[in-house]
Amino acid sequence: MSFTHPSPGPWTIKRGQTTLTVDHPIIAGPMAGGLDPPYRMILHRIGCPLSFTEMISARAVFEEAGRTNRLFSWLPDEGMSCAQIFGSDPGYLAHAASEMERFGHHMIDLNAGCPKRKVYRTGAGSALLKDPENLLKCVGSILDAVKVPVGIKMRMGFHHLEERSLKALVSDLQGMGISYLAMHPRTMVQQFSGKADRELIDRMSSWTDVPLIASGDVRSPEDIMDYLGRGAKAVMVARGLLGDPTWIRRAMAALTGGSWEDRYPRTRVQLHHHLFLLKEHLASSVEWYGEERGVIEFRPHFGWYLRNFCGKREFRNRLYSLTDVKGVMKLIDEISPVWAGSLHDDQSLIIQSMIGAHRKDLSE
C-alpha cells in the first residue's frame, strides 16, 4: 500500500499576524472522559501535533474564577493545544475564551455538536445548530475576546442536514474570521450511529477557504487519505485513540511509505512497548491528579489498552479494588507473561521476514 497524494505534510492555522504550523494532518479530537491532560501529554510525546481539550463548560470557568482549576490550564508537555469550550451565552463564552488564552492554549474551539441531553437542553452544543443567530453571536464574542485563532467543531445538523442553511452558516462564519472549521458529518439525532457522511466533506471544501478538519470513523490510513482527498486539510481521530497512543505515529509511518500495523502487539518488543506506555500513562495520571484520583481516572484507560486481550476482565476487576499506584504497577507486570505466550518470538519474526525478502529476491 502506498500513498502519494495528497501529501500528509504540515498545514497552517492563521489569524491576523499569527500563523500556527501543525506538523502533519492527523490530530487528536476532543473526547470528554477520554482525552484528559495526562493522555494528551503521552500523545504529544508520541507525535501528535495538535490535540483538543475535553469540552469545558464556559459557565464553570466563570464560576471558578479566581480558583485554579488544573483541568483548564495548559502545560508545554501537552504540545499544541486547542481549548474547546461549550455554552450558549456569548458573555460566558467570551470570558472562558479569554481565560483559556491566558492559560496558554494556542487556539479556541466552540463546541456546536455535542449530542448530550444535558448540554443541548441548555441551548449549547448541537442545539446551537438550531439557532444559527445565537451561534454567530457566540462566535463573534469569542473572536472579540481573544487574539488566538478561533474555530468551531460542529455536526452537520440537529435533526437532519439542511444543506443550504449549512452553506450559509459556513459562509457567515468564514466572513467573521474563524480560522478553521471542524466537521463531524453526522446529525445530533444520529449520535454515533450509521456512517459519517464523507461526501459532505467534498462539498464543504468548495464552500470555504479556511482549513476544513474532518472527524468521524477514522480507523485506518485509508480513511485519512480518503478525507484528505475530499479536501480536508486534516483529520481528527477520537475513538481510535482510546487505549492506543501509538495510533497516530503508526498511521503517519504508513502514510509516508511504511506499512500499517494494527494495534495488537505481535512481538515481545511491541508487547513490552504497549505495557510500558500503559505504565507511563498511569504515572502521568498520578502526577497530574494525585495518587488516589489518578488511579481512578486511569481505570477506563486501562480497560481500553487491554481491549480484546485475553484475561482482560480478570485484570480489570482486580484493578477496581486498587487505589495505590504501586499495586497497579505490580498488576501491569503480571500481564506480560499472560500475553507473551500467545505472541510470536521476535527472533522468529525476523527470520520470517528474511525468508520473505529472500523469496522476493528469487522471484525478481
Ligand X SMILES: Cc1cc2nc3c(=O)[nH]c(=O)nc-3n(C[C@H](O)[C@H](O)[C@H](O)COP(=O)(O)O)c2cc1C
Q: Which residues bind ligand X (CB under 6 A)?
A: 29-34, 54-55, 84, 111, 113-114, 153, 184, 215-218, 237-240
Question: Is the CB of 84 or the CB of 246 nearer to ligand X?
Answer: 84
Which string of DSSP letters, residue by residue, matches 5-52?
SS----EEEEETTEEEEESSSEEEPP-TTT--HHHHHHHHHTT---EE
DSSP 215: E
Please report how close the Cβ of residue 337 comes to ligand X at its closest, in angstroms.
Answer: 32
Question: Is the CB of 227 or the CB of 339 nearer to ligand X?
Answer: 227
Question: Is the CB of 183 or the CB of 325 nearer to ligand X?
Answer: 183
Please report how close the Cβ of residue 56 comes to ligand X at its closest, in angstroms.
Answer: 9
Please report how close the Cβ of residue 248 comes to ligand X at its closest, in angstroms.
Answer: 12
Q: How far is CA 133 from CA 109, 139, 182, 190, in A?
A: 18, 10, 19, 23
Please report how close the Cβ of residue 326 comes to ligand X at its closest, in angstroms.
Answer: 29
Please report how close the Cβ of residue 232 comes to ligand X at its closest, in angstroms.
Answer: 13
Question: Is the CB of 28 or the CB of 332 nearer to ligand X?
Answer: 28
Question: Is the CB of 218 or the CB of 277 nearer to ligand X?
Answer: 218
Which string of DSSP letters, residue by residue, matches 53-106?
PPPEEHHHHHHTTTS--TTT---GGG-SEEEEEE-S-HHHHHHHHHHHHHHT-S
Q: Which of 236, 320, 328 is nearest to 286 (CA)?
A: 328
Please report how close the Cβ of residue 240 comes to ligand X at its closest, in angstroms.
Answer: 5
* Angle, CA 276 vertex, CA 30 and CA 47 arms, to 5°: 45
Q: How far is CA 289 from CA 122, 294, 297, 304, in A?
A: 29, 5, 8, 20
Question: Is the CB of 157 or the CB of 325 nearer to ligand X?
Answer: 157
Please report how close the Cβ of residue 188 comes to ligand X at its closest, in angstroms.
Answer: 11
CB 168 within 8 A of CB 197: no
Question: Is the CB of 34 or the CB of 90 nearer to ligand X?
Answer: 34
Q: How far is CA 287 from CA 32, 45, 67, 298, in A?
A: 20, 16, 20, 12
